[in-house]
């Protein structure tokens, strides 16, 4: 039986989030401790646990068909590899940083300066667009210490909260790109495996849509029903059911979580009562 081969990071937060989204897609994976390859019990899939930085090459060579990988790594090492979906987790920035004491005028500060990074291709492309030439020092590992030991005038690294920069006496000065986990596809994927990929994409999209939504139930007086319904950004049309108490109805709908509190406030002002908010596990549109 043909199986789609997916690569995920073998350890760390990206590993946990990748396993979680596959689990939410109803895919059960039999994997033991320190296992580098596993099969799904209920979906035609093999999972390869790899170093994050090695995944782009596996995609290029067609050893794996798809991968859940940080967009920043794909940009740095995965030239020619397309990604299909943004997955909404493992968000970070790739930034240039300098010592706190430096008076930073603009990106021209880096002209002729030394930059320590494990993202040399990303830095070079960014600086080239700005017309700036710098000396790139490639370091695999913690680069934050480089300015403190005189190895570099600044660094380029991924930034999540910024606490690591702060602890090492650095400040963020340029955001080169914003990154999150993506579903990347090998240019060598077969047509047969593309059919399996479409099924996986459908499931992932249902999970992602659900994560962005809340299911809302509320009670509304019938004389305010039209006004309340006009406030609801439902998928197509809210469900309205009569209550046992005459003159009242129950309204069911879905609200995007980013607009949730704004809509809830408007509903209350319009006369809605007894609002019940529930998480959604899957949404198939």
Q: What is the pLDDT of residues 112-163, one digit of tens each?
A: 999 999 999 999 999 999 999 999 999 987 899 999 888 999 999 998 888 8
Give the pLDDT mean for 50-63: 94
Angle between helices 191-211 and 13-24 (to 10 degrees): 90
Quick one: what percent of the chain has pLDDT higher than 70?
97
Whether residue 5 has pLDDT greater than 80: yes
Q: What is the reported pTM?
A: 0.83
First-to-last C-alpha distance (Å) of the chain: 30
Q: Kindly give the residue spans of alpha helices, DSSP state H, lying in 25-119.
A: 55-61, 71-77
Instruction: Write down the pLDDT at residue 50.
Output: 94
Quick one: what percent of the chain has pLDDT higher than 90?
67
CA 73 vs CA 110, 124, 180, 269: distances in Å = 23, 15, 10, 47
CA distance 161 to 124: 24
Mean pLDDT of the chain: 91
Instruction: Write down the pLDDT at residue 232.
Output: 83
Whether residue 34 has pLDDT greater than 80: no
CA distance 90 to 21: 12
Instruction: Write down the pLDDT at residue 256.
Output: 85
Instruction: Write down the pLDDT at residue 85.
Output: 92
């Amino acid at each position: 039986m043909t199986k789609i081969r997916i690569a995920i990071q073998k350890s760390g937060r990206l590993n946990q989030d990748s396993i979680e989204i596959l689990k939410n897609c109803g895919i059960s994976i039999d994997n033991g401790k320190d296992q580098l390859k596993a099969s799904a019990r209920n979906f035609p899939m093999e999972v390869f646990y790899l170093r994050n930085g090695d995944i782009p090459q596996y995609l290029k060579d067609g050893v794996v068909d798809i991968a859940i990988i940080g967009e920043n790594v794909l940009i740095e090492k995965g030239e020619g590899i397309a990604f299909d979906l943004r997955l909404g987790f493992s968000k970070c920035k790739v930034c240039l940083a300098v010592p706190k004491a430096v008076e930073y005028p603009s990106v021209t500060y880096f002209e002729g300066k030394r930059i320590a990074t494990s993202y040399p291709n990303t830095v070079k492309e960014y600086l080239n667009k700005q017309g700036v030439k710098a000396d790139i020092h490639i370091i695999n590992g913690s680069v934050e210490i480089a300015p403190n030991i005189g190895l570099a005038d600044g660094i380029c690294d991924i930034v999540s909260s910024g606490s690591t920069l702060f602890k090492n006496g650095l400040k963020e000065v340029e955001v080169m790109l914003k990154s999150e986990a993506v579903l990347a596809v090998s240019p060598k994927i077969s047509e047969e495996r593309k059919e399996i990929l479409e099924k996986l994409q459908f499931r992932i999209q249902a999970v992602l849509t659900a994560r962005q939504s809340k299911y809302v139930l509320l009670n509304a007086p019938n004389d305010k029903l039209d006004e309340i319904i006009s406030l609801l950004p439902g998928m197509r049309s809210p469900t309205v059911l009569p209550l046992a108490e005459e003159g009242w109805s129950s309204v069911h709908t879905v609200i995007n979580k980013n607009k949730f509190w704004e809509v809830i406030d408007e509903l209350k002002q319009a006369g809605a009562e007894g609002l019940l908010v529930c998480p959604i596990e899957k949404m198939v549109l």
